[in-house]
Amino acid sequence: MQIYKVGGAVRDRLLGKPVTDIDWVVVGATAEEMLAKGFRPVGSDFPVFLHPKSGEEYALARTERKSGRGYGGFTFHASPEVTLEEDLIRRDLTINAMAEDDQGALTDPYHGQQDLENRLLRHVSPAFAEDPLRVLRVARFAARYAGLGFRVAPDTLELMRQLSGSGELEALTPERSWKEISRALMEDHPQVFIQVLSDCGALKVLLPEVEALFGVPQPAAHHPEIDSGVHTLSVLEQAALHKQPLSVRWACLLHDLGKGLTPQSEWPQHIAHEHKGLKLIKQVNERFKAPRDCQELALLVGQYHTHGHRALELKPSTLAELLQSFDVYRRPQRFEEFIAACEMDARGRLGLEERAYPQADYLRGAATAARTVAVQPLLEQGFKGPELGEALKRERLKALKAYKEQYSQ
């Protein structure tokens, strides 16, 4: 029995990055031997065991063969005869197909170390094209390591194109796709993930609503970058630079989908794109079964982001309706995330990345002014039921009028 550290732990050590998760592969052992040593079995698809003390995962060396569609369409074969090289060749990228023994000696049969040095994301073998999930994984790695200068190798990008056109991507479950998309959006360069998916034809399969934005012009006065798709990538880039949470990044990705529905005869104007985009945002949310907080924020940002930009011009009554739409009295954090998404939208424009966004503090102040209206005095005046709600609305509107007047002075 020989035990090797494999995959990401080896890759990240060689890159000088912190190693968090460690995967181990065991060569020359049977499941019975693992159980005899106190390892606990986990999963039913292939033999993986948890270490009796550390709890880390140890997998028996195995080969795999395509047996159906999608990510799960494989049969696995594990036995003591499977070599380390045979186990490594089934992995996606050469930089993930290296192993280390307990002395630190490197096994690198597919030249992963050279690809690390050349900053290339390259597939290990033609079997890469059998697993549609790898399209998303490679795009995610491109997003993770873009800051180090990594790019997808041309021959790997070609395989990704073939996979994207094969119909295999449609076999991915919403849960599996969302897991990759959400992880990719939280990388340092999530815009690279979207760009790579577009480059290989996967975006028009997975997110055709986003793909439709590329080539659609916007007014140069507000959008020096012109292209709606380029703008969306820039907004995502700003969200990552400002360390925004997943819900904000998801909203940033989907906020302008309505522009993809504008007839060419109306370009570069996009009248009512906020309202038009809601049905598209809803269908994307449902397609990937996004978490509820992500779904809700994406819809609200899609509908109201131009309100955010025009915050200083809004009438107190419109401001009151906006605050009510976000339920700022019970869910203040959601409104804060809306403000963040609006600011990323304003900064995601060519040459305007550093501009001030006074709307953010103005909206925060408005929310505070409305929230400070106390209910108790109204109760003491005898208001109750629907009448109490109306009285509360009137008092909040008064507070917002006073806030706006004070701000204008």
306-319 per-position pLDDT tens digit: 999 999 999 999 99
pLDDT band at 9 (very low <50, low <70, confident <90, very high): very high
pLDDT score of 45: 63
Give the pLDDT mean for 262-290.
Answer: 97
pLDDT band at 156 (very low <50, low <70, confident <90, very high): very high
Q: Are the C-beta atoms of 191 and 233 separated by less than 8 Å? A: yes
Comparing 4-8, 171-175, 381-385, which segment has the lowest mean pLDDT? 381-385
pLDDT band at 79 (very low <50, low <70, confident <90, very high): confident
Q: Are the C-beta atoms of 85 and 109 separated by less than 8 Å? A: yes
The predicted model scores a pTM of 0.91
What region does 272 belong to: left with phi over 0, alpha with psi -120 to 50, or beta?
left
- Residue carrying the six token digits 């990228």: 93
pLDDT band at 409 (very low <50, low <70, confident <90, very high): confident
Q: What is the DSSP letter of 121?
A: E
- Residue carrying the six token digits 């993770």: 144
pLDDT score of 307: 98
pLDDT score of 69: 54
pLDDT reading at 83 higher than 90? yes
pLDDT score of 157: 98
Give the pLDDT mean for 31-58.
Answer: 87
Give the pLDDT mean for 154-165.
Answer: 96
Q: Is pLDDT larger for residue 19 or for residue 322?
A: 322
- Burial label for 78, CB within 10 Å (0-12, 13-18, 19+), is buried
pLDDT reading at 68 higher than 80? no
pLDDT score of 159: 96
Comparing 73-77, 133-137, 173-177, which segment has the lowest mean pLDDT? 73-77
pLDDT tens per residue, range 347-377: 999 999 999 999 999 999 999 999 999 998 9
Handedness of CA 85, 86, 87, 93 (dihedral sign): positive
Q: Beta strand pairing status for 120-121 and 151-152?
A: parallel
Comparing 29-43, 214-228, 363-377, which segment has the lowest mean pLDDT? 29-43
pLDDT score of 76: 66
Handedness of CA 244, 245, 250, 256 (dihedral sign): negative
pLDDT reading at 402 higher than 90? yes
Handedness of CA 33, 37, 42, 48 (dihedral sign): negative
pLDDT tens per residue, range 95-118: 999 999 999 999 999 999 999 999
**3-state secondary structure (DSSP) of residue 280:** helix
Comparing 239-253, 257-271, 289-303, 380-394, which segment has the lowest mean pLDDT? 380-394
What single letter denotes the amino acid at residue 393? K
Nearest to 216, CA basis, from 252, 265, 249, 279: 265
- Burial label for 169, CB within 10 Å (0-12, 13-18, 19+), is buried
In what order do the strands lie in the sheet containing 57-60?
Answer: 40-42, 48-50, 57-60, 23-27, 2-6, 99-100, 106-107
C-alpha to C-alpha distance for 348 and 259, rounded to whole angstroms: 16
Comparing 52-66, 189-203, 290-304, which segment has the lowest mean pLDDT? 52-66
pLDDT score of 21: 82
Report whether the peptide linkage leading into residue 377 is cis, meaning its omega lies within 30 degrees of zero: no
pLDDT reading at 73 higher than 80? no
C-alpha to C-alpha distance for 328 and 319, rounded to whole angstroms: 12
Give the pLDDT mean for 23-47.
Answer: 87
pLDDT reading at 67 higher than 70? no
Handedness of CA 293, 296, 302, 305 (dihedral sign): negative
